[in-house]
């Protein structure tokens, strides 16, 4: 990590300031802002990395305004750059690779990038791109002593509201303690974290990365049903979303198994069992599970340059 940054704090540089780049910076900023407020009212010693600065890079000029509009109010040092990835990497201590998967070679292949990355950490959230692919591209002859470390993480878009489920891929060999601490700090500040081996990153991509879209479809269907039965749209959406949140609370905080939870809600002879049987008749369990498995297959191909990854299959 660059010692030169110590007095001004560490810098997170984001390469690709789209949905995820903004969501992650936003979540981290919200978390740091909350920690500042907490520190002001408590004397407890803090053992958190001194992350203070953010650099948002993109290839699309309007992204600068988008980033400022989404994050400007946090009052952190925020620099926006268009087509200046190298400058962003030079300024950063930890680099978040959040472009589309197939773009990574354009970014990391730019002259000077390998030098600028010396001793730093790249966190890649690219679906389907392995740690080996990135390392092999940067260091085709094997990593030099001052090589950067590449860490693969799969977060989700709920990072923005600090409710991400982020899967950090196990690093071999382990990261240096301060590097590990910084990666853990960033992702645990924007939600929950689990660490899993490389072979489980594609299913993690489907379940956690794509998951918000799948659950949003169910949520929307529930709200639609409410509207169909006469609820105003706004109330129907809040009711569906809060009910989904309550269910996840019972599982996450209450440790309830989903099958037991279903059973507890199903009063004998009541309406819930009637609704559940309609869902089973419609094959919702199979369709939902198939969606996650399909997304896993597609995710596994995203880094291979394979075309038509979403072409129809049996």
Ligand X SMILES: NC(=O)C1=CN([C@@H]2O[C@H](COP(=O)(O)OP(=O)(O)OC[C@H]3O[C@@H](n4cnc5c(N)ncnc54)[C@H](OP(=O)(O)O)[C@@H]3O)[C@@H](O)[C@H]2O)C=CC1
Ligand Y SMILES: O=C(O)[C@@H]1CCC=N1
3-state secondary structure of 43: coil
* Residue 99 contact partner, candidates ligand X, ligand Y, none, CB within 5 to 8 A by sort of partner: ligand X
Is 142 within any annotated ligand binding site?
no
Is 17 within any annotated ligand binding site?
yes
Is 210 within any annotated ligand binding site?
no
* Residue 118 contact partner, candidates ligand Y, ligand X, none, CB within 5 to 8 A by sort of partner: none
Task: Write out the residues near ligand X by the rule CB under 6 A.
Answer: 15-21, 57-60, 63, 85, 98-101, 103, 106-107, 125-127, 154-157, 209
User: Do residues 182 and 49 touch, judged by C-beta distance below 8 A?
Assistant: yes
Binding mask 98-137 for ligand Y (x = CB under 6 A): -----------------------------x----------
Start-to-end CA span in the chain (Å): 48
- From the number of C-beta atoms within 10 Å of its C-beta (0-12, 13-18, 19+), residue 250 rates as middle
* Residue 63 contact partner, candidates ligand Y, ligand X, none, CB within 5 to 8 A by sort of partner: ligand X
* Residue 130 contact partner, candidates ligand Y, ligand X, none, CB within 5 to 8 A by sort of partner: none
Cα distance between residue 164 and residue 159, in whole Å:
4
**257-294 as b/e: b if 16+ CB within 10 A:** eeeeeeeeebeeeeeeeeeeeeeeeeeeeeeeeebeee
Contacts of residue 122, Cβ cutoff 8 Å, sequence gap at least 6: 95, 96, 97, 134, 148, 149, 150, 151
Closer residue to ligand Y (CB): 53 or 205:
205
Which of 209, 237, 240, 300 is close enough to bind ligand Y by CB under 6 A? 209
User: Do residues 10 and 94 touch, judged by C-beta distance below 8 A?
Assistant: yes
* Residue 106 contact partner, candidates ligand X, ligand Y, none, CB within 5 to 8 A by sort of partner: ligand X
Candidate ranges 64-72, 132-140, 202-210, 252-260; the one touching ligand Y (CB under 6 A): 202-210
Cα distance between residue 135 and residue 117, in whole Å:
12
Q: CB of residue 205 vs ligand Y: minimum separation in angstroms?
A: 5
Closer residue to ligand Y (CB): 122 or 207:
207
Which of 53, 205, 296, 300 is close enough to bind ligand Y by CB under 6 A? 205
Is 81 within any annotated ligand binding site?
no
Which of 166, 210, 296, 300 is close enough to bind ligand Y by CB under 6 A? 210
Cα distance between residue 125 and residue 51, in whole Å:
19
Q: Does 203 bind ligand Y (CB under 6 A)?
A: no
Closer residue to ligand Y (CB): 171 or 210:
210
Is 16 within any annotated ligand binding site?
yes
How is residue 294 written in tokens? Answer: 């399909």
Q: Which residue number is nearest to ligand X in terms of Cβ?
A: 18
Is 29 within any annotated ligand binding site?
no
Contacts of residue 13, Cβ cutoff 8 Å, sequence gap at least 6: 54, 55, 57, 88, 89, 91, 92, 94, 95, 96
The annotated binding site for NADPH is made up of: 85
Which residues in this chain contact ligand Y in the complex, by CB under 6 A?
A: 127, 205, 209-210
The annotated binding site for NADP(+) is made up of: 15-20
């Amino acid at each position: 990590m660059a010692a030169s940054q110590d007095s001004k704090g560490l810098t997170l540089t984001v390469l690709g300031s789209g949905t995820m780049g903004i969501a992650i910076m936003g979540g981290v900023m919200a978390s740091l802002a909350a920690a500042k407020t907490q520190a002001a009212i408590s004397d407890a010693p803090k053992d958190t990395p001194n992350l203070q600065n953010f650099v948002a890079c993109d290839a699309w000029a309007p992204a600068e305004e988008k980033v400022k509009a989404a994050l400007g109010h946090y009052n952190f040092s925020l620099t926006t750059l268009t087509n200046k990835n190298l400058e962003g990497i030079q300024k950063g201590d930890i680099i978040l690779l959040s472009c589309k998967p197939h773009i990574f070679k354009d970014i990391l292949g730019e002259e000077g990038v390998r030098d600028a990355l010396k001793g730093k950490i790249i966190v890649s959230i690219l679906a389907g791109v392995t740690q080996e692919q990135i390392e092999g591209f940067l260091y085709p002859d094997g990593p030099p002593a001052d090589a950067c470390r590449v860490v693969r993480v799969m977060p989700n878009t709920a990072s923005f509201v600090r409710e991400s489920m982020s899967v950090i891929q196990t690093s071999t060999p382990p990261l240096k303690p301060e590097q590990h601490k910084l990666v853990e700090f960033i992702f645990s500040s924007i939600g929950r974290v689990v660490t899993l081996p490389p072979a489980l990153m594609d299913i993690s991509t489907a379940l956690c990365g794509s998951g918000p879209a799948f659950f949003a479809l169910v949520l929307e269907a529930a709200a639609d049903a409410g509207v169909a039965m006469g609820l105003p749209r706004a109330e129907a959406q809040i009711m569906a979303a809060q009910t989904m949140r309550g269910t996840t609370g019972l599982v996450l905080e209450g440790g309830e198994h989903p099958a037991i939870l279903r059973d507890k809600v199903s009063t004998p002879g009541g309406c819930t069992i009637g609704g559940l049987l309609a869902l089973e008749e419609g094959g919702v369990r199979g369709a939902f599970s198939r969606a996650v498995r399909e997304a896993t297959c597609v995710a596994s191909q995203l880094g291979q340059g394979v075309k038509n990854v979403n072409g129809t299959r049996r």
